[in-house]
Structure 1
Amino acid sequence: MEKNPERERNQIMQACTEHGLALDTRQIEQLEEYARLLESINRSINLVSRKEESSLLIRHVFHSLLVGFHYPFQQGEKVLDLGTGGGLPGIPLAIAYPETDFLLIDATGKKIDACREMITTLGLKNVHAKKIRAEELTGLMFDVVLSRQVAPLRKLCRYAEKILRPEGLLICLKGGNLEKEIEDALDSAQKNNGLPSDVVQHPLDAFDPCFEEKYIVIAYR
């Protein structure tokens, strides 16, 4: 699909305004710059699928922002982006919520190096990137754990329940038929008295045709 930056920018601004996520001119510029950096670095490091580069701003950046339509991040909250890859969804959300603290983790050093480079270039102060596996995190607790299609929900819940505060949430961006995946996570939680006690699934196809069969999945304690 041919790029149309003005159309994409207007689409993002309109949707965000309608859903109470007010972005100023500087934030829009940072989101666009992040998409350009992601595209540039992706030529040498596999951060996102290259067949989708024609619409990075919509398919990846806007996709990440949709989390904020269902959970308004608060000042001072601690958020973990688990398996961040190229900084998704953490970097777009850090741009949109400058008063929230984000930690991006991934086990691949090259991806974390790329995230650090982009964070520095964008001048972001509320987001940091660290090369570490989720199971290696100790002594840290978070209000929200984010994930973008990196593992089955059951496995993500197992990681998250150890590092989430009592009222914390696991929020995932996922695609496809999730009925069995959600059922497995709920069954496992019931047997082990763990996360989740409930799961809510929000379809995203109304925002753009490229989000068909894509969902935000929120797992509650």
Structure 2
Amino acid sequence: MTERSALQRRLEEGIAALGLTLPPEAVPRLLDYQALLARWNATYNLTAVRDPAEMVTRHLLDSLAILPYVTGATLADLGTGPGLPGIVLAIAAPGRAITLVDSNGKKVRFLREAIRALKLDGVQAVQSRVEDVEGSFDCITARAFASFADMLGWGGHLLAPGGRWLAMKGRRPDDELAGLPPGFVLTAMHALAVPGLEGERHLAVIEHAPAPAPRAAAC
């Protein structure tokens, strides 16, 4: 069995365990992305994960685990690094306009090459601090990016009305809930079971707090 066929088997088994159905071309394109990341990583140190099989688990399957919770036509992936989860989501569910945001120049250069090489329509990479990004997005993803207070303090302006912020965490971040800025509310906390990955994984879903109901006029 070649290395790629072994990685494909690991990926396909993980996708099945997650209960996902992806487009027919998704698996080979995800493996093309992993191979490109591994090549660039040898020179530019884009990720601490270097073993290809671990990349499948820690990068591809970990990103795919949040796919059922992604909504809307536009998505911003903040602090995306080498495109996690943004590029994985773009391959797994094409057709959504995705903006990948990172302040690191070498990572953004890799993102732009990945977008070109993988022919990811509707995906763009922006080199910027989160607080300087402009726009409005139906869905925002952030993978181990910062605390709730910092994430929403820097990027809360990017979440469209009715939008959904998906914060990927390790341990259940109950201690961060008190730091939610005014105007935002935690609507769900999902424990994620990532195939082959030890340790806890959680997804916090944050939305705009509902406007208070108008007070009835006094008679």
- Shorter-chain TM range is 0.7 to 0.9
Report what 2:186 is aligned to.
198
Identify the residue that residue 159 of structure 2 maps to in structure 1.
Answer: 164
Equivalent position of 1:114 in the other structure:
110
Counterparts of 1:57-206 in structure 2, within 5 Å, are: 57-71=56-70, 73-74=71-72, 77-138=73-134, 140-185=135-180, 189=181, 193-195=182-184, 197-205=185-193
**Contact 2:7-2:53 at 8 Å conserved across structures:** no
Q: Which one-letter code corresponds to 1:201 in the other structure? A: M
Q: Which amino acid aligns with 2:49?
A: R
Deviations 1:94-144 (A, max 9, x none): 111211110001111110000111111111112110111111123x11111
CA radius of gyration, larger in: 2
The answer to which structure, 1 or 2, has the higher relative contact order (CA under 8 A, 6+ apart) is: 2
Q: Is the 8 A contact 2:49 2:55 kept in 1?
A: no
| Larger deviation, residues 176-185 vs 94-103 | 176-185
What amino acid sits opposite 2:133 in the alignment?
Answer: L
Q: Distance in 2 between matches of 1:211 and 1:78?
A: 31
Q: Is the 8 A contact 2:7 2:52 kept in 1?
A: no
Alignment match, 2:12: 10
In 1: Cα distance, 2:84 partner to 2:77 partner = 8
The alignment partner of 1:43 has SS state of helix
TM-superposed deviation, 1:211: 4.6
| d(CA) in 2 for partners of 1:160, 1:198 | 16
The alignment of Structure 1 onto Structure 2 pairs a total of residues equal to 204
Q: Let me know the Cα RMSD of the aligned residues.
A: 1.9
Contact conserved, 1:78 with 1:102, CA < 8 A, in 2?
A: yes
TM-score (norm 1): 0.84
Contact 2:148 2:177 in 1 (8 A): yes
Q: Distance in 1 between matches of 2:200 and 2:147?
A: 16
Aligned equivalent of 2:199, options 187, 212, 218: 212
Once the two structures are TM-superposed, the CA of residue 53 in structure 1 deviates from its matched residue by: 4.4
User: What TM-score, normalized by structure 2, do the two folds share?
Assistant: 0.85
How do residues 12-51 of structure 1 correspond to structure 2 at under 5 angstroms?
12-15=14-17, 18=19, 21-50=20-49
On the 8 A contact 1:45/1:110 being kept in 2, the answer is: yes
Distance 1:211 1:91, change over 3 A: farther
Q: Quote the Cα distance in structure 2 between the aligned partners of 1:209 and 1:54.
A: 10
Asked whether the 8 Å contact 2:90–2:98 carries over to 1, the reply is yes
Secondary structure of residue in 2 paired with 1:50? coil
Separation in structure 2 between the aligned mates of residue 219 and residue 11 of structure 1, nearest angstrom: 30
Distance in 1 (CA, whole Å) between partners of 2:158 and 2:99 is: 13
My pick for the range that moved more, 46-55 or 112-121, is: 46-55
